Amino acid sequence: MDTATLEQRITRLEDIEAIRKLKARYCEICDDAHNPDKVTTLFAPDGIWESADFGKAVGHQEIRALFRQFQKTFSFSQHNIMNPIIDVDGNRATGIWYIMGPWTYAETNEEKWLALRYDDDYVKVDGEWKYAHLRAALRMVADR
């Protein structure tokens, strides 16, 4: 194997690991009261957060406002993320993830289990992976 091929393979593996860490940071921030200021650091300036069930936000200002709303909606969440499929193509990448976890609705103190699928587009900005477009599709809601 030549050195160039080995370097490309290592770079791809490092990119995949960086994207895994990006998703882990996203989940940690969501489970830390959906912190609106921290979550925007994970998105490109023109990044998009989108869900048919929870809303759509474009850019840091709208994402911050959406997550402020999430703070009012959810008093607890636990993002248990699994089964990533990550494809890297230069400074762009895609990822599919599944999530299952408990949520508590703030207003009613009602506890639910939610299952979602994330379909993500990523972009490398100044050497760091960011969300270009995060799509969250609600697949199931069940009583605790």
Quickly state the pLDDT bin for 139 (edges 50, 70, 90).
Answer: very high
Alpha-carbon separation of residue 70 from 1, 79, 91, 97, 133 (angstroms): 50, 14, 30, 20, 18
Its pTM stands at: 0.95
Domain ranges of the chain: 3-143
pLDDT in tens, 69-118: 999 999 999 999 999 999 999 999 999 999 999 999 999 999 999 999 99
Tokens of 40: 């925007």
User: CATH class for domain 3-143?
Assistant: alpha beta
Contact 105, 74 (CB under 8 A): yes
Reported as type and span, the H/E element at residue 69 is helix 59-73
pLDDT in tens, 39-82: 999 999 999 999 999 999 999 999 999 999 999 999 999 999 99
- Integer Cα distance of 29 and 43 in angstroms: 13
